[in-house]
Structure 1
Amino acid sequence: MGRQADANAHVPLPIRDGVAPSYLWLDHNPADGALAFLTRHFADVGEAVWRDRMARGEVVDAAGAVLAPDSMLKRGMRIWYYRELEAETPIPFEEQILFRDDHLLVVDKPHFLPMTPGGRFLHETLLVRLKNKTGLTQLTPIHRLDRETAGVVIFSHQEATRGAYQSLFQKRSVHKEYEALAAPLPWLTFPLVHRSRMVEGEPFFRMQEVEGEPNSESVVDVIGARGDAMLYRLQPHTGRKHQLRVHMAALGAPIMNDAFYPEALPCKGDDFANPLKLLARAIGFDDPLTGRARRFESERVL
């Protein structure tokens, strides 16, 4: 698998249609030329495709020299190229820019839209859409939301100050507030704190709770009834993958339309009419550059 370039790295190919080039690092000396190696390494990309990319000058080494089909490769080289998808499912929901200054871009992400390119998504990702919309080539997410989750997410577009904002999340100096729709839990008293030890589960994309020292913590409170369901306020104090989804399922109230928890449902494609009822409602922090309190809120409603 290739890796996409970091925003800070020297890249010999420009961003194209909002997509940064990817690279493959060689850990051995291939015995044959570039075309044969790439065709063999990427079994799902045909030889004709690589020939066409090379003819367009879109397969290069770290210095930007175009690789030909018979170019010999060496251990330690990086081969740069553009990842391409023949068919990509359109995501019929739009992101909304909430705030922009010289350092940050704050966005209201819709359900179903991935944060960054990967798997079957390339152009239909928040990062690529925003690069095309804003022209900010140095755009980098400071934190992540699951593809299934909607709400507030923050991007940096200034390399010089990116680390200051990233450190807020690393130090857990950011207040995150989510909302979720789930079944009532009348036998529990709110607000409550749920702590558990979370590890990777089965299948590979799920997380699970196990015995041991807790490494995840969420505060759960009730906002009010919404028909037969309850609207909850969730405040994660840690940032484990799928943490809020796992914790709500463990309490006995899985978030509505969750296809992963408590059990992974058979994959039937995206049901755009029934998104996961989880929203990143707000993010607050003290700005590391000015010391001023900042708070950004989603305009979406579950």
Structure 2
Amino acid sequence: MRRKSRRPVSPLPQRNGVDPVHLRLPIEGPWETVRAYLVERLAVVGAARVDAALAGREIVGEAGPVAPDEPFTPGAHLWFYRDLPDEVRVPFDLAVLYRDEHLVVVDKPHFLATTPRGKHVVETALSRLRHGLDLPALSPAHRLDRLTAGLALFVVRPAERGAYQTLFRDRLVRKEYEAVAPYDPELSLPRTVRSHIVKERGVIAAREVDAPPNSESRIDLLERRDGLGRYRLRPLSGRTHQLRLHMSGLGVPILGDPVYPVVLPEPAADDFRRPLQLLASVVEFTDPVTGREHRFESRRTLTAWTAPDRWAAGADPEGLAPGAADS
């Protein structure tokens, strides 16, 4: 079996915690120059942008900047910085709860994406942490939805990432969430919800279909008042939007959910008034590298429960309990 060659180290450093784009030229093809290949490969940005990048020495290979007329070399490696989208800064702090030589555990605010994706590149927890903690090799152990607040784990050493990801894949992490949703006296709780969830690429909402279950959630009511309930949610599987979909299916959709039970128009990028009232509150696991028993608890709160007047007014949506350390 032919061994996969190791990617060379990038000659370009990260910018604001974001890696440069890496391309490897095909082993064979009809292109006479690197430019010809890039114009075809990067058709979405256009030939003019490729020419400007080459003229500005923005595209580099292992030997340095690529010349506009540089011949096509099969298998050569290239790096360049992508043109980043305009992003509105998420105006909430990212709290670091724990850090050692293996792990960084954070208390993520609502609206901040976990990792670069789509319209969110610099305004992500990963980019902020890489830049702020000077940990360019930091990587996520799992993903927490952008609209969900609470605990997220990142791995310091690339060689150890697989061990931590396996914990989540094999359901060896005990996770608890809190949610605020309408109270229904006819809904019998606690209960376990099982269903088959389908999430199609390019479709924002997941859906449940009549098929053998592939998702399971334990739902408890912790307390109730004024027509609302504070719920504890324990996912026993990890499907996209699982908890949001299960709560909506029970007739008690989580407050602030723009997708379930119906998809609402996307708010303005700088509208942070109505965060999804879902919080990743507890994570417990045995560290696969050190063998330590870990239990982490979020210090954030759900405003619709702790400050319902502020929630109703759409003001100051982020709740962070006193004593939390912000990065």
Tell me the TM-score normalized by structure 1.
0.88
Secondary structure (helix, strand or coil) at the match of 1:38 reads helix
Q: CA deviation at 1:167?
A: 1.8
Counterparts in 2 of 1:31 and 1:283: CA distance versus 1, 3 Å: same
2:137 aligns with 138
Contact map agreement 2:113 2:124 (CA 8 A) in 1: yes
AA matched with 1:241: T
2:317 aligns with none
Deviates most, 217-226 or 68-77: 68-77
AA matched with 1:11: V
Secondary structure (helix, strand or coil) at the match of 2:249 reads helix
Contact map agreement 1:29 1:73 (CA 8 A) in 2: no
1:209 aligns with 208
AA matched with 2:282: A
Tell me the TM-score normalized by structure 2.
0.82
Secondary structure (helix, strand or coil) at the match of 1:246 reads helix
| 1:133-153 C-alpha deviation (Å, 9 max, x unpaired) | 100111000000111111000
Contact map agreement 2:149 2:278 (CA 8 A) in 1: yes
Counterparts in 2 of 1:71 and 1:232: CA distance versus 1, 3 Å: same
| 1:236-268 C-alpha deviation (Å, 9 max, x unpaired) | 011111111111111111111111111111223
1:283 aligns with 283
Contact map agreement 1:30 1:73 (CA 8 A) in 2: no
AA matched with 2:9: V
1:197 aligns with 196
Secondary structure (helix, strand or coil) at the match of 1:162 reads helix
**Equivalent residues in 2 for 1:265-284 (5 A)?**
265-270=264-269, 271-284=271-284
1:294 aligns with 294
Structure 2 segments unaligned to the other structure (5+ residues): 1-5, 303-327
Structure 1 segments unaligned to the other structure (5+ residues): 1-7
Secondary structure (helix, strand or coil) at the match of 2:300 reads coil
Q: Distance in 1 between matches of 2:166 and 2:237?
A: 14
**Equivalent residues in 2 for 1:188-267 (5 A)?**
188-201=187-200, 204-267=203-266
Q: CA deviation at 1:64?
A: 5.1
**Equivalent residues in 2 for 1:24-173 (5 A)?**
24-25=23-24, 29=29, 31=31, 33-61=33-61, 63=62, 65-73=64-72, 76-85=75-84, 87-173=86-172
Query: Root-mean-square deviation (CA), in Å?
Result: 2.3
Deviates most, 283-292 or 92-101: 283-292
Q: CA deviation at 1:165?
A: 1.8
Which residue of 8, 11, 31 maps to 2:9?
11
Deviates most, 48-57 or 17-26: 48-57
Deviates most, 12-21 or 173-182: 12-21
Aligned residues: 294
Q: Distance in 1 between matches of 2:108 and 2:219?
A: 23
Q: Distance in 2 between matches of 1:31 and 1:143?
A: 40
Deviates most, 73-82 or 221-230: 73-82
Counterparts in 2 of 1:193 and 1:73: CA distance versus 1, 3 Å: farther
Question: Is 1:176 aligned to 2:175, yes or no?
Answer: yes
Q: CA deviation at 1:106?
A: 0.3
Counterparts in 2 of 1:51 and 1:286: CA distance versus 1, 3 Å: same
2:307 aligns with none
Contact map agreement 2:115 2:143 (CA 8 A) in 1: no
1:4 aligns with none
Q: CA deviation at 1:50?
A: 3.3
AA matched with 1:103: H
Q: Distance in 2 between matches of 1:289 and 1:193?
A: 32
Counterparts in 2 of 1:300 and 1:48: CA distance versus 1, 3 Å: same
Secondary structure (helix, strand or coil) at the match of 1:275 reads coil
Contact map agreement 2:255 2:277 (CA 8 A) in 1: yes
Q: CA deviation at 1:23?
A: 2.5
Contact map agreement 1:207 1:242 (CA 8 A) in 2: yes
Secondary structure (helix, strand or coil) at the match of 2:65 reads coil
AA matched with 1:19: V
> Which has the larger Rg?
2
Counterparts in 2 of 1:30 and 1:182: CA distance versus 1, 3 Å: farther
| 1:87-133 C-alpha deviation (Å, 9 max, x unpaired) | 22221111110000010000011111111122222211111111111
Q: Distance in 1 between matches of 2:212 and 2:242?
A: 16
Q: CA deviation at 1:43?
A: 4.5
Deviates most, 45-54 or 161-170: 45-54
